[in-house]
């Protein structure tokens, strides 16, 4: 289910719906398009014209060291004005180097507390309490000279009048952030009002920026000057370009190239949950925020991986995902009864297409009320029997839940909610909205009582249906109505005859307060809609008097945290949660899918950029609806989409109620592509799972842009049609119709085709090459110097996990020496924590070298008992890129003990074939792939093998 108000093409939805194409989203899209057209005809300017300069900024009138080693300053407004409201006269500045690579700059009202992202949601250091320093400081308002405050990596400097600050990198003097405004600059000095904050930074012309989401970026992963970047969680379909969508991530990564030889990355987070516009003009970036504080964090990098490591160290490391989550998932809004679900599972099995997880949208519910079962279409005894059957195979079952609680006095969930007083209030009464069940109230997850109630409801539902995860949707939060609504008397709501997303409540506008109609209008929904548009009225009140105005973009995040607590507390297992709405830190608890997309070639391309952005945001478990959510994809498109989607971190086919069926077995050709692509994914599950571990301990994205591994090559800075899985696999999909070839930009080095490792590309410089890619083929290449673990695959991850391992060792071609490295993490994925030292995990480093005519391959095992208990073995090692054949002196040992009988071990060799166009000097020297089969090496023990090679004749 999903949906509600896209822009340009607003599409509503429910966990995944787009009425008539996306539930409410489709209807909203039509309304949105009409509204935009009307405003254009009426010559209404959709872009708010802001005065070029607002005021003269602030002056720093005192500064001193704080007890925690930071600095605290007092700022005074220079000249008051009333543009967007009165200025806050005094501000407190707090600056601290929290680590060697993280600097915080916090600016707030010096005289009273303002809203901030709650410290219990994102644990972090608190700035000093507001001091009674204003009177003392007024006595001495002498100008304060330029000064600096530094750590080993970053330098904070400031100018006192007008106040501005800069953040520099100590190693090379680069200015990473500079808030000064010269007379010639189009942006203001610091502006700080109750409902309007503005601050800018200057940027070098050649800077490359990424992030500031969630939005669908038509120009690719690199931020595009002049495109709108509005952050405010909104149920707007992902088909709407450059529009604020389901998540709010006010962070950007910047990459700078120095003469083509060096590259330096850093990131800037503005930790603020209020709505904001961010204007990126190429040489400057301006924030315009409608509340809260300025709470900046600067991360020094210098590599993209360092940046994400430093960022997730603050906001929370990505959640560990269970092993089965990396299998393939199938969902559809419209599986109306259990027999349909059973048929889907059986048809996947008949087609020999891997499937791990079957999902239900709201079809399983009784009257679309969450935590219920439809007694006719999903009778509990039959559902439990079905779950017992699929659980025995290792398959899983996930259902959707929305936050809206149907107002129904006979509904137990509602009764208990009322008894516990868990709802968001408006004038002391639960705020009334409409979503799928009709009139609803929304739980307030900022209230500890609500979290306890939610945990209990999840427990009750799990006793009813032992689901394996939860899909939380519509949590921006989405509302099919606007304003202050009441339940109509004498008519059914919803009527049952029309679309469920059409408002049937009696509603009136709420524009009486400054919270409902703020002085500055962010570009919400792409139309400068008021912030309460199709959501909770922003003057509604949460626990402890918190306004929806401030906490709006946190709603999905707080629901995610509550759901995570609920699932983890059930059986002590590792939770799996899929959330539509996200905020800074959501990846610490949940996975994400990119929302309502279309079955178009454009949406296929957009999915890559959005996926890569979420890796930067610390949400590595991400993917798009394969084949598109609506309407009907073409057969060719679905072929190409499953080829790409098989390599999303989160791989799920999901379709709309009104779309034709698009399970992968519906077309013979798509089934073939699915068997090929998903077949490879299931062989790579150990690699995916190890990337999951790396993400959990360091934030490293599973899917990442090529510039993560090749940061000095500017050709990759905007590349949005290819991506890396980890550092070693490059995925290059076909993204256009009627194509049987794909143009790939190869980084320098040796690249082996994963589907046929005898085929190799060698490139000295970044080089485009067009390769054949027939309908059932996607190009995936393995980079040199890598060792990747694989298994034999299967139709369910539980089955694939029991098969023997193989190692693929990739040396660079054309070198007389080489080395390669890889790693493998395995554990009991039922355990909540993903770590070593608990007795239920094993970690292995793999190494290989080629020098002095000797090849060596060995492992270094940590905590091997778990792998030994599972009986896992390595049966094959493939070594790529050797310029010679094996000799006679093969030796292998386990835990330092030689294996005397190697008679069952078989060597074979196959010549590589590669494009001579990319080989420096046209060298026609041949190279070989050597396969060593018949091994029975215990995965949990250290092994070492070596052999001498002879020259190839």
Catalytic residues: 473, 476, 596
Rg (CA), the chain: 29
Using alpha carbons, list the distances in angstroms from residue 548 to 330, 434, 582, 734.
35, 17, 16, 44
Answer whether the bond into residue 772 is a cis peptide, omega within 30°. Answer: no
* Cβ atoms 356, 395 nearer than 8 A: yes
Residue 248 CA to residue 556 CA, distance in Å, equals: 10
Q: DSSP character for 599?
A: S
Secondary structure of residue 772 in the 3-state scheme? strand
**Alpha-helical regions (H) of 70-175:** 134-138
CB atoms within 10 A of CB 392: 9
Tokens 């009334």 label which residue? 432
- Identify the CA nearest to 849 among candidates 876, 879, 894, 817: 817
* Helices 380-393 and 338-350: angle between axes, nearest 10 degrees: 20
Q: What is the largest CA-CA distance in the chain?
A: 91
Q: Are strands 651-653 and 625-626 parallel, antiparallel or unpaired?
A: parallel
DSSP state letters, 163-209: EEEEEEETTT--EEEE----TT-SS-S-EEBSS-EEEEEE--TT-EE
Using alpha carbons, list the distances in angstroms from residue 864 to 820, 834, 872, 895, 941.
22, 16, 10, 11, 6
DSSP state letters, 264-330: EEEEEEE---S-EEEEE-SSEEEEEESSS-EEEEEE--SSHHHHHHHHHHHH-PPPPPPGGGGSEEE
Termini Cα distance of the chain: 64
Secondary structure of residue 937 in the 3-state scheme? strand
**Alpha-helical regions (H) of 23-133:** 24-41
- Identify the CA nearest to 403 among candidates 473, 352, 489, 493: 473
Secondary structure of residue 587 in the 3-state scheme? helix
Secondary structure of residue 846 in the 3-state scheme? strand
Secondary structure of residue 136 in the 3-state scheme? helix
Residue 190 CA to residue 200 CA, distance in Å, equals: 8
Does an H or E element contain 228, and which?
strand 228-231
CB atoms within 10 A of CB 65: 10
Using alpha carbons, list the distances in angstroms from residue 617 to 307, 421, 454.
11, 34, 27
Return the ∠ at Cα 631 (arms to 223 and 671), rounded to 5°. 95
Tokens 């330098």 label which residue? 155
Residue 75 CA to residue 727 CA, distance in Å, equals: 46
* Cβ atoms 928, 953 nearer than 8 A: no
Tokens of 309: 């490591």
DSSP state letters, 857-924: EEEEEESTHHHHHHT-EEEEEEEEEESEEE-S--EEEETTEE-S--TT-EEEEEE-EE-GGGSGGG--
CB atoms within 10 A of CB 537: 28
Q: What stretches of 537-617 adopt beta strand conformation (E)? A: 577-579, 591-593
Q: Are strands 913-914 and 928-938 parallel, antiparallel or unpaired?
A: unpaired
């Amino acid at each position: 289910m999903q949906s509600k108000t896209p822009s340009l093409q607003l599409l509503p939805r429910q966990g995944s719906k787009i009425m008539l194409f996306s539930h409410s989203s489709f209807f909203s899209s039509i309304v949105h398009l009409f509204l935009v057209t009307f405003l254009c005809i009426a010559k209404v300017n959709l872009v708010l014209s802001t005065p070029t300069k607002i005021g003269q900024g602030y002056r720093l009138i005192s500064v001193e060291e704080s007890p925690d080693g930071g600095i605290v300053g007092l700022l005074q407004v220079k000249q008051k004005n009333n543009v967007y409201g009165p200025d806050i006269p005094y501000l407190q500045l707090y600056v601290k180097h929290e680590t060697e690579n993280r600097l915080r700059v916090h600016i707030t009202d010096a005289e009273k507390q303002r809203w901030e992202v709650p410290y219990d949601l994102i644990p972090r250091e608190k700035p000093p309490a507001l001091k009674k320093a204003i009177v003392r400081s007024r006595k001495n308002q002498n100008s304060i000279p330029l000064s600096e405050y530094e750590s080993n990596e970053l330098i904070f400097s400031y100018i006192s009048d007008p106040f501005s600050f800069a953040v520099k990198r100590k190693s090379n003097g680069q200015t990473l952030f500079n808030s000064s405004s010269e007379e010639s600059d189009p942006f203001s000095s610091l502006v700080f009002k109750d409902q309007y904050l503005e601050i800018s930074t200057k940027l070098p012309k050649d800077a490359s920026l990424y992030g500031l989401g969630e939005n669908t970026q038509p120009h690719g992963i690199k931020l595009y000057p002049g495109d709108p970047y509005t952050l405010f969680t909104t149920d707007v379909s992902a088909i709407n370009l450059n529009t604020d969508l389901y998540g709010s991530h006010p962070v950007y990564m910047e990459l700078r190239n120095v003469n083509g030889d060096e590259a330096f990355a850093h990131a800037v987070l503005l930790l603020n949950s209020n709505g904001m516009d961010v204007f990126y003009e190429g040489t400057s970036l301006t924030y315009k925020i409608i509340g809260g504080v300025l709470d900046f964090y600067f991360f020094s990098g210098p590599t993209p991986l360092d940046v994400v490591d430093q960022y997730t160290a603050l906001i929370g490391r990505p959640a560990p995902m269970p092993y089965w989550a990396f299998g393939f998932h199938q969902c559809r809004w419209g599986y109306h009864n259990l027999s349909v679900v059973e048929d889907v599972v059986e048809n996947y099995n008949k087609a020999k297409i891997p499937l791990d997880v079957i999902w239900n949208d709201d079809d399983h519910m009784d009257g679309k009320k969450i935590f219920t079962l439809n007694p006719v279409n999903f009778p509990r005894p039959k559902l439990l029997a079905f779950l017992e059957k699929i659980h025995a195979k290792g398959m899983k079952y996930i259902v959707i839940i929305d936050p809206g609680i149907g107002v129904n006095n006979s509904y137990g969930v509602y009764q208990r909610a009322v008894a516990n007083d868990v709802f968001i209030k408006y004038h002391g009464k639960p705020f009334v909205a409409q979503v799928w069940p009709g009139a609803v109230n929304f739980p307030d997850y900022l209230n500890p009582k609500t979290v306890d109630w939610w945990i209990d409801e999840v427990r009750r539902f799990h006793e009813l249906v032992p689901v394996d995860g939860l899909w939380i949707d519509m949590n921006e939060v989405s509302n099919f109505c606007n304003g202050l609504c009441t339940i109509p008397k004498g008519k059914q709501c919803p009527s049952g005859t029309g679309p469920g997303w059409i408002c049937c409540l009696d509603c009136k506008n709420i524009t009486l307060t400054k919270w409902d109609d703020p002085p500055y209008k962010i570009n919400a929904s792409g139309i400068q809609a008021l912030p309460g548009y199709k959501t909770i009225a922003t003057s509604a009140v949460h626990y402890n008097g918190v306004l929806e105005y401030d906490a709006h973009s946190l709603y999905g995040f707080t629901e995610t945290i509550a759901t995570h607590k609920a699932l983890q507390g059930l059986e002590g297992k590792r939770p799996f949660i899929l959330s539509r709405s996200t905020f800074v830190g959501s990846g610490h608890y949940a996975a994400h899918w990119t929302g309502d997309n279309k079955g178009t070639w454009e949406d296929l391309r957009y999915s890559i950029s959005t996926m890569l952005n979420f890796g930067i945001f610390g949400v590595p478990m991400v993917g798009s609806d394969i084949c598109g959510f609506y309407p009907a994809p073409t057969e060719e498109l679905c072929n190409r989409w499953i080829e790409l989607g098989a390599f999303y971190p989160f791989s799920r086919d999901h379709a709309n109620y009104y779309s034709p069926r698009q399970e992968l077995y519906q077309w013979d050709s798509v089934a073939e592509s699915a068997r090929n692509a998903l077949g490879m994914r299931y062989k790579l599950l150990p690699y995916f799972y190890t990337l999951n571990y790396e993400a959990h301990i360091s934030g490293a994205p599973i899917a990442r842009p090529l510039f993560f591994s090749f940061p000095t090559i500017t050709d990759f800075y905007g590349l949005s049609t290819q991506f890396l899985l980890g550092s070693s696999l490059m995925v290059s999909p076909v993204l256009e119709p009627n194509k049987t070839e794909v143009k790939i930009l190869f980084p320098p080095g040796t690249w082996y085709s994963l589907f046929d490792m005898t085929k190799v590309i060698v490139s000295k410089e970044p080089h485009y090459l067009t390769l054949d890619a027939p309908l059932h083929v996607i190009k995936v290449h393995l980079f040199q110097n890598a060792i990747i673990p694989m298994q034999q695959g299967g139709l369910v991850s539980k089955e694939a996990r029991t098969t023997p391992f193989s190692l693929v060792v990739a040396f660079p071609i054309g070198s007389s020496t080489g080395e390669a490295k890889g790693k493998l993490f395995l554990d009991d994925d039922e355990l909540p924590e993903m770590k070593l030292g608990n007795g239920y995990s094993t970690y292995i480093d793999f190494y290989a070298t080629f020098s002095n005519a000797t090849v060596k391959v060995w492992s270094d095992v940590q905590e091997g008992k778990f792998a030994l208990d599972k009986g896992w073995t390595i049966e094959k090692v493939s070594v790529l890129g050797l310029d010679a054949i094996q000799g006679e002196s093969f030796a292998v040992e386990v835990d330092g003990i030689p294996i005397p009988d190697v008679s069952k071990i078989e060597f074979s060799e196959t010549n590589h074939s590669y494009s001579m166009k990319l080989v420096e000097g046209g060298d026609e020297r041949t190279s070989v792939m050597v396969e060593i089969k018949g091994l029975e090496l215990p995965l949990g023990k250290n092994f070492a093998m070596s052999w001498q090679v002879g020259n190839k004749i």
